[in-house]
Structure 1
Amino acid sequence: METVDQVRQPGVFSHVRRSVRMTVGQQRVWETRWPELGRKLAELPPGELDLAAWFGRSAPVVLEIGSGMGEATAQLAQAAPEVNHLAAEVYPAGLGQLMLAVEKHELTNVRLLHGDALDFLRDHVTPGSLDGVRIFFPDPWQKKRHHKRRLVTGPFVGLVASRLRPGGTLHLATDWADYADQMLAVCSAEPLLTNQYERWAPRPSWRPLTKFESRAHAEGRDCRDLLFTRA
């Protein structure tokens, strides 16, 4: 079995590198709200991060990997104020947009991580501390020669499972059939995880409809959800 230290494979990141310019509003909240709401992975001290201290309370923590522009994160945080929502994203514009939503809706249960979530999980998250991990519509790396760059691999899923508490959940969603099959295979092979369904989970009504899912429907692709529980 591959170890946590082996999870970083060449070319595998929890994001795709691209440049996104921030708006005036996004830049403003970066300057005014980031010290309160955010942390940069590169600036975290070595060791495990005290999530309860960061949020200012002890509550279940759900990590969303690749929160994009934050529309789903903000809606989920509004719907579940009793949960601490941690959004990991590498694009400042996306985090800025989420901070605008946090400000607009006066959310107190959202924190933001700027950096690669894989390294964050490995180096700064206490084993057995997360109540949930969500990965909605990760980059599919459609070309076969690029499949090795996909995030959801056996070593990565093993790392996620080790950070979940017993009973914690890993929720995946994708609109690419071959990636869904890969997700199902690697999650099913992880001994710490159990599929809550025989194969695909019904689309939960509480999961917000994102632009990626809307585009998939418009292009005729089915979206599949997977919901696994840590033993």
Structure 2
Amino acid sequence: MSDVTTAEFNEDGKYIRKIRSFVLREGRLTKGQSQAIEAHWPAMGLDYTPQPLDLTEVFGRDADTVLEIGFGMGASLVQMASASPEQNFIGIEVHKPGVGACLADAGEAKVTNLRVYHHDAMEVLEHSIADGSLARLQLFFPDPWHKKRHHKRRIVQADFVELVRRKLKIGGVFHMATDWENYSEHMLEVMNAAEGYKNQSTTGTVVERPDHRPLTKFEARGHRLGHGVWDIMFERIA
């Protein structure tokens, strides 16, 4: 866990790889987070390699696998893994305190079906996840890059959703959520133009928050203040 490749995009929306030190990028770890990494990384941590994972070997079983990009502090990811022991879960996060917090919660919840990466999601997805291997890919509340001139930096772009489609099995679902209505419109525009997907919404727009996505404290507070959250789910059909 000494370095990470961070995802950055140029003004044309093209992905740029840059090597950064965790020491330069990371916030300060709490004692509990540091102890959680030391205690649980051997069992739940995945070190990046450019070869596809053997998921059956990693989890010791053959089961549907859910991958989440950018799990933050990991509370909802641990909640999902705990609620669905029949599924495998993989989380990717570059923020080291978030990794520590996630592992602390996972250890306390005694989940055995969760693995985490502390690495750039684009590299992991491209090289470490086999094509056609995921039942669901989750992207919850990504950076909205709300200024119009920065919209090309949003992760949901044509090249990215094609990469996601390759990694999903037929019938697998790409599930996005955002609290920026403009970003939800952008997501729908990109997804509607992408080949091999079908919107799971009966109206062709957004869906109600499904039971498998926990309501976060931030989101619950937003609801009380009248703020919206938009869930978008597209199924791979080809």
TM-score by length of 1: 0.88
For 2:221 and 2:165, locate their aligned partners in 1 and report how far apart those are by CA, in whole Å: 30
2:47 maps to which residue? 40
Answering whether residue 79 of structure 2 is matched by residue 75 of structure 1, we say yes
Instruction: Tell me which residue corresponds to 2:235.
Output: 229
Amino acid across the alignment from 2:207: A
Aligned pair 1:9/2:14, yes or no?
A: yes
2:63 counterpart SS class = coil
Alignment correspondent of 2:127: 123
Q: Which residue of 2 aligns with 1:210?
A: 216
Task: Note if 1:66 corresponds to 2:109.
Answer: no
Does the CA-based 8 Å contact 2:199-2:233 persist in structure 1? yes
The whole-number CA distance in structure 1 between the counterparts of 2:224 and 2:133 is 38
* Residue equivalent to 1:4: none
Counterpart contact for 1:66–1:88, Cα < 8 Å: yes
Output the CA distance in 2 between the equivalents of 1:10 and 1:183: 18
Residue 28 of structure 1 corresponds to 35
For 2:145 and 2:224, how far apart are their aligned partners in 1? 20
Whether contact under 8 Å (1:12, 1:149) holds in the other structure is no
For residue 35 of structure 2, what is the amino acid of its counterpart?
R
Contact 1:12 1:151 in 2 (8 A): no
What corresponds to 1:154 in structure 2? 158
Shift of 1:18: 5.4
Q: Does 1:108 align with 2:115?
A: no
Q: 1:78-121 deviations in whole A, cap 9, x for unaligned?
A: 11000001011011111111111111111000000111111111
Answer yes or no: is the 8 Å Cα contact 2:26–2:96 preserved in 1. Answer: no
> Does the 8 Å contact 1:11/1:148 carry over to 2?
no
From the two aligned structures, give the one with the greater strand fraction: 2
SS of the residue corresponding to residue 116 of structure 2 reads: strand
| CA distance 1:10–1:60, shift in 2 (3 Å) | closer
Shift of 1:180: 0.3
Q: Structure 1 pair 139/215, CA: closer, same or farther in 2 (3 Å)?
A: farther
How far is the alpha carbon of 1:206 from its aligned partner? Answer: 3.4
Instruction: Tell me, in whole angstroms, the C-alpha distance in 2 between the residues paired with 1:40 and 1:114.
Output: 8
- SS of 1:33's partner is helix
Task: Give the structure 1 partner of residue 7 of structure 2.
Answer: none
Whether 1:201 and 2:217 are equivalent positions in the alignment is no
Contact 2:65 2:89 in 1 (8 A): yes
Q: CA RMSD in A?
A: 2.1
User: Shift of residue 191 of structure 1?
Assistant: 1.2
After superposition, give the CA deviation of every residue in 1:139-182 in whole Å (9 maximum; x if it has no partner).
11111122111111111001001110000011100011111011
Identity of aligned residues (%): 43
- Structure 1: where are the runs of 5+ without partners? 1-7
- Counterpart amino acid of 1:30? I
Q: Which residue pairs with 2:4 in the alignment? A: none
CA deviation string 1:175-226 (max 9, x = no partner)? 1111101101111111111001121111223321224424543554311101
Query: Is the 1:67–1:88 Cα contact (8 Å) retained in structure 2?
Result: yes
